[in-house]
Amino acid sequence: MQQADIVIIGAGHAGYQLVKEIRKLNHELSILLLCADSGDYYSKPLLSNGFSKGKTAETLVQKTAAEMAVEYQIQIQPGCEVQEIDPVRQLLHSSHGDIGYQQLVLATGASALTPPLPAAALEISQPINDLADYQQFLARCAGKQQICILGAGLVGIEYANDLVSAGYQVSVIALEQQPLAQLMPAALGDKLAQALMQLGVTFYWGSPIAAAEPNGDACELTLSDGRTFSTQLILSAIGLRPNIHLAKKVGLDCGKGIQVDQYLQSSVANIYAIGDCAEICHHVLMYITPINLSAKALAATLVGQPTLLQLPAMPVLVKSPALPVVSCQNRQPDHSDWQISGEGDDLQALWFDAQQQLQAFALTGKMVGQRMRLIKQMANLLPAVG
């Protein structure tokens, strides 16, 4: 039976970043990384601007699993499915046999939500949530020009900008009335929409797909308000759901994600969670910066130096070359109370709580240069003592 001091389930950014941070502190502990995919190392954020740069899945791989294993002196088992955790015996039951651990980290990520679509539309729809998805979608793009994106959140907008820049005819369907509705007020969202429309993106706001009919190599979509248009592919970007099935099966406390404290400790001893699957003190934070900070703190804890995770206010930089955008939120703002200033495309929106503490801001155009000044005015999202 295999054994390791630290077993990590998941070879995404969170899993590998944790490995890097552990090795900065300790080279003696044995580390075993388990993953259902190939385990190759790549940057997930680069997927959403790979089309305009002509990137293939192969060129996006920065290091193979074998190269990462050698560099960080770890064992990696690609194609390994973990079916069950036995926390009493500290064992994993997997497709590669039983595996023993001293400390277990769940870095199981999140899965794309499946949109409720008519059969013909569902047949040409897929998300891009990992390198294999990117490779599949790129192959499906061969010989096609029309791409529809479902969702105008962060991922949908980044792909819209990238795909239209790569020469595709891009349409976006969203239930909201603006892009990035959860990150900024309408005045700033409208500026971003206008910038993307100037590149050729067409937006359909407020109406879901009601019907779909095949039409040659395309599909004729009918929205609930009666509007129709044609597309050859649909990229689903309606959101992610943390992968918590394994955690729930063993009885870990779960909400939206696997619930952990500021040490990233779950409700069961010696089991931790990090990344998109984790719900840290009631926050689910699917961004690179909190994952990097989590990895640094958890690595210290795992090597015997218990460390509370501290999270500052963290801006989200949207990869939208059509119009630079930054958003930062400690709390979800009431969109009626934004204080908006600026001219043209260069806008600033601030949201203060009842105590006049800055809790959120959004910036467009040249105003993005103000983000560091504004961050200094905000309290930590997760202070030293939670």
DSSP-assigned states of every residue in 16-54: HHHHHHHHHH-SSS-EEEE-SS---EE-GGGGGGSTTTT
Name every residue whose Cβ is closer than 8 Å to that of residue 356 and which is 6 or more positions away in sequence: none
pLDDT digits (tens, 9 = 90+) for 71-106: 999 999 999 999 999 999 999 999 999 999 999 999
Mean pLDDT of 341-354: 96
The pairing of strands 91-94 and 31-34 is: unpaired
Mean pLDDT of 130-150: 97
Name every residue whose Cβ is closer than 8 Å to that of residue 184 and which is 6 or more positions away in sequence: 192, 325, 327, 349, 362, 364
**Lowest-confidence region among 27-36, 147-156, 209-218, 330-339:** 330-339
The structural domains of the chain, with segments of one domain joined by +, span 2-111+240-302, 114-236, 324-375
Top-tier CATH class for 324-375: alpha beta
What the block records as the tokens of 81 is 């499915």
Cβ-based neighbour number of residue 259 at 10 Å: 19
Q: Are 299 and 39 in contact (CB under 8 A)?
A: no
Q: Is the pLDDT of residue 191 over 70?
A: yes
Q: Are 69 and 40 in contact (CB under 8 A)?
A: no
Give the H/E segment covering residue 377.
none
Q: What is the pLDDT of residue 333?
A: 87
Q: What is the pLDDT of residue 180?
A: 97
Q: What is the pLDDT of residue 385?
A: 61
Cβ-based neighbour number of residue 223 at 10 Å: 17
In this prediction, residue 29 has a pLDDT band, given cuts at 50, 70 and 90, of very high
Residue with token string 């070359």: 321
Q: Is the pLDDT of residue 334 over 90?
A: no
Q: If we measure between CA atoms, which residue out of 26, 28, 35 comes closest to residue 130?
A: 35
What the block records as the tokens of 264 is 């990233």
What the block records as the tokens of 230 is 């044609």
Residue with token string 């999270």: 311
Top-tier CATH class for 114-236: alpha beta
What residue spans of the chain are helical by DSSP H?
13-25, 57-60, 65-72, 119-123, 131-140, 154-165, 186-199, 245-250, 288-302, 371-375
Shared fold status for 114-236 and 324-375: no
Q: Are 210 and 225 in contact (CB under 8 A)?
A: no
Q: Is the pLDDT of residue 242 over 60?
A: yes
Q: Are 9 and 104 in contact (CB under 8 A)?
A: yes
Q: What is the pLDDT of residue 336?
A: 76
Q: What is the pLDDT of residue 383?
A: 84
Best CATH choice for the domain 2-111+240-302 from the list 3.40.50.12160, 3.30.1240.10, 3.40.50.150, 3.50.50.60: 3.50.50.60
In this prediction, residue 262 has a pLDDT band, given cuts at 50, 70 and 90, of very high
- % of the chain residues with pLDDT over 70: 99
**Lowest-confidence region among 103-112, 145-154, 374-383:** 374-383
Average pLDDT value over all residues in the chain: 96
Q: What is the pLDDT of residue 332?
A: 85
Q: What is the C-alpha to C-alpha distance for residues 120 and 24, in angstroms, rounded to an integer?
A: 51
Q: If we measure between CA atoms, which residue out of 260, 276, 272, 211 comes closest to residue 13?
A: 276
Q: Is the pLDDT of residue 358 over 50?
A: yes
What the block records as the tokens of 182 is 């959860």
pLDDT digits (tens, 9 = 90+) for 309-333: 999 999 999 999 999 999 999 988 8
- % of the chain residues with pLDDT over 90: 96
Q: What is the C-alpha to C-alpha distance for residues 213 and 364, in angstroms, rounded to an integer?
A: 39
Q: What is the C-alpha to C-alpha distance for residues 14 and 292, in angstroms, rounded to an integer?
A: 7
Q: Are 95 and 77 in contact (CB under 8 A)?
A: no
In this prediction, residue 386 has a pLDDT band, given cuts at 50, 70 and 90, of very low
Cβ-based neighbour number of residue 153 at 10 Å: 18
